[in-house]
Structure formats: C-alpha cells, structure tokens
Amino acid sequence: MFTGTPEELKRREAQARTIAARIAMLLDDLEALSLGSPSGQLHTPGGIIRPSGRGWTVTNR
C-alpha cells in the first residue's frame, strides 16, 4: 500500500499512465505484424489498456 504524500501519489500515477501508454503503443506494433491480434485488456496502475477501433488505448480506472 502506498504511504507517501498526495503529491507523490499524483506523480507516480502520472508515471504509471505514461508507461501504460507505451505498452499500448507496443501492442499496436504487435498487431501491425498481422500475426494475430492480442485480445482482452490489461489492468495496470496507470489505468486499463483496452483494444479500440483505432488500436489500443489507456483509460482511467
């Protein structure tokens, strides 16, 4: 469980969203290889990575 300050929590959540966005980009790259589409969704501290009509997107929890 996180025990830091609210400011530190916001900073870490922002970092987690940035990392989740990078993961979404990698999933787009994998899908572009046309070897099959990754399916489902990934739950991360930065949000939920889900497939969308335009590739993969990160949404807040």
Instruction: Give per-residue pLDDT as tens, 36-45.
Output: 766 788 888 8
What is the torsion angle, in degrees rounded to the nearest 10, for the CA atoms of residue 32, residue 35, residue 40 and residue 46?
Answer: -40
Per-residue pLDDT tens for 22-32? Answer: 998 998 888 88
Which residue is it, tokens 């790259």?
Answer: 29
Q: Is the pLDDT of residue 18 over 80?
A: yes
Predicted model pTM: 0.70
From residue 30, give the alpha-carbon distance in Å to each of 25, 39, 49. 9, 11, 14
Which pLDDT value is given to residue 59? Answer: 87
